Amino acid sequence: MTSMSETKGYDGAGEPMQVVAVAGAHPPHYYSQDELVAAFLRHWGEAHHNTARLEQLHRAVAVGGRHLALPIEDYANLRGFGDSNDAFIRVGTEIGEQAVSKALDDSGLQPRDIDAIFAVSVTGIATPSIDARLVNRLQMRQNVKRVPIFGLGCVAGAAGLSRMYDYLKAWPDHVAVLLSVELCSLTIQRDDFSIPNLISSGLFGDGAAAVVAVGAERAPRWPTGGPTVLATQSQFYYDTERTMGWDISDSGFKVVLSSSVPDVVKQHLGGDIDRFLQSQGLTRAHIGSWVCHPGGPKVLQAFESALRVTEEDLALTWRSLKEVGNMSSASVLFVLRDTLAERRPAAGTLGLILAMGPGFCSELVLVRW
């Protein structure tokens, strides 16, 4: 990696957003993959013609265990999308409050300090949205700006950071919060034996993450805070709508998940990163830290190929996948939290935060640690 002092085309001028704190929260119900496989075999064993294939798919996703929104025995009592969505609102509000409160505590700020809250999710619908419910529960100011964002899926953690960066460029004296709430287990289609649904039932977990960030005028108060965001890039890929997403049915969210995702990563991501870095006067040689969304084993291997990095470079991403599964938009924020706490790069190191999701699209966030 080239040091900052050796870069020629990039001086890092204008850093309008600093991450101050990142926190996560989970529902209390944690199950090992063995327990979950046994439960799925009990449910699907008689109807599915190949239970060995079911178990094989669940083992192949490299997940060791996951948190669930509800105790596992309660899922059989969900009578349809209405019940599942009611659980999303109830549990999502609870763990969303926990994540935001922890991030605020870690930053030394209070709920009334928040000027804007960005809330991302793709696993439930709420109107008023989860962030509105938290304004009441946490007694944020009545003039807080709320920006609920639905539909970005796995990319939304990184995209939310980008939209918060855009906001803080305009309001450098403000405090902004990004909240991700994803309860993927509530979207499982119990009568769908398609390969995408079987893979999803073994891959996705539940959790919430919150990021507190401040604009340039407030950043000097946190000299030992998190990374500063230097630039972002959104990239959309034409005619890839069926790569990932939902079909909305009477029973709720039915997963769309194409086996082509790793190929799309390999085809596009490396070039996107190079062009983005070039626009900042940088090359990959300047990047010393990678915070990636843990999409799944094949997706992570495609990331390694596209980024020309090793499994060790993405060690925290691999660990997050193993310990809690893919939590959609929340996952990349959990990896950011773990990077801050356990593997913080040396001061001045440049890094990339990145994720991909429905559209199909990618989001790149350039940071300085």
- pLDDT (tens digit per residue) in 307-337: 999 999 999 999 999 999 999 999 999 999 9
pLDDT at residue 50, as a whole number: 67
Is residue 18 scored above 60 in pLDDT? yes
pLDDT at residue 146, as a whole number: 98
Q: Which amino acid is at 328?
A: S
Tokens, residue 219? 């950043």
Give the CATH number of the domain where residue 58 resides.
3.40.47.10
The label of the residue with tokens 């990636």 reads: 292
> Are residues 194 and 49 part of one domain?
yes
Q: Which of 176, 200, 221 is the last residue of a domain?
A: 221
Backbone angles phi, psi at 239, to 5 degrees: 60, 40
293 pLDDT tier (thresholds 50, 70, 90) = very high
- In the chain, the percentage of residues whose pLDDT exceeds 90 is 74
> Are residues 326 and 192 part of one domain?
no
Helix (H, G, I), strand (E, B) or coil at 68: strand
> Are residues 195 and 71 part of one domain?
yes
Is residue 357 scored above 90 in pLDDT? yes
The DSSP bridge pattern shows strands 350-357 and 287-292 to be: parallel
Is residue 269 scored above 70 in pLDDT? yes
pLDDT at residue 287, as a whole number: 96
Decide if 280 contacts 366 (C-beta within 8 A): yes
Q: Which of 167, 187, 221 is the last residue of a domain?
A: 221
Q: Which of 221, 245, 270 is the last residue of a domain?
A: 221
Which residues, including other chains, have CB under 8 Å from residue 96's CB and lie 6 or more apart?
Answer: 25, 119, 130, 131, 134, 179, 181, 208, 210
In terms of pLDDT, which residue wins out, 57 or 3? Answer: 57
**Of residues 154, 184, 292, 361, which has the active-site annotation?**
154
Q: Is residue 175 part of a domain?
A: yes
Tokens, residue 200? 């999803």
Q: Is residue 15 part of a domain?
A: no
Which residues, including other chains, have CB under 8 Å from residue 132's CB and lie 6 or more apart?
Answer: 146, 148
Ordered DSSP codes for 350-365? EEEEEEEETTTEEEEE
pLDDT tens string 79-102: 899 999 999 999 999 999 999 999
Domain count, the chain: 2
Is residue 243 scored above 70 in pLDDT? yes
Distances from the Cα of 254 to the Cα of 83, 88, 123, 246, 274, angstroms: 16, 16, 11, 5, 35
The label of the residue with tokens 């969505």 reads: 85
- Among residues 326, 333, 150, which one has the least CA distance to residue 246? 150
> Are residues 87 and 154 part of one domain?
yes
> Are residues 312 and 344 part of one domain?
yes
Is residue 48 scored above 80 in pLDDT? no
Q: Is residue 16 part of a domain?
A: no
> Are residues 154 and 53 part of one domain?
yes
Is residue 191 scored above 90 in pLDDT? no
Q: Is residue 131 part of a domain?
A: yes
> Are residues 254 and 213 part of one domain?
no
Find how far residue 216's CA is from the centre of its chain. Answer: 25
> Are residues 154 and 38 part of one domain?
yes
> Are residues 42 and 134 part of one domain?
yes
pLDDT tens string 195-214: 888 888 889 999 999 999 99
Average confidence (pLDDT) over 48-73: 85
> Are residues 259 and 164 part of one domain?
no
Q: Is residue 14 part of a domain?
A: no
* Global pTM value: 0.92
47 pLDDT tier (thresholds 50, 70, 90) = low
> Are residues 202 and 268 part of one domain?
no
> Are residues 260 and 125 part of one domain?
no
Average confidence (pLDDT) over 237-261: 88
pLDDT at residue 4, as a whole number: 42
Average confidence (pLDDT) over 137-161: 97
pLDDT at residue 228, as a whole number: 95
pLDDT at residue 251, as a whole number: 86
Q: Is residue 238 part of a domain?
A: yes
Backbone angles phi, psi at 205, to 5 degrees: -125, -175
Q: Is residue 122 part of a domain?
A: yes
Which residues make beta-bridge pairs with 257? Answer: 244
Domain that holds residue 198: 21-221
Is residue 154 part of the annotated active site? The answer reads yes
> Sign of torsion, CA 325 331 332 333?
negative
350 pLDDT tier (thresholds 50, 70, 90) = very high
Backbone angles phi, psi at 16, to 5 degrees: -75, -5
Q: Is residue 52 part of a domain?
A: yes
Is residue 150 scored above 80 in pLDDT? yes
Which residues, including other chains, have CB under 8 Å from residue 182's CB and lie 6 or more apart?
Answer: 121, 122, 123, 206, 207, 208, 327, 328, 329, 330
pLDDT at residue 46, as a whole number: 65
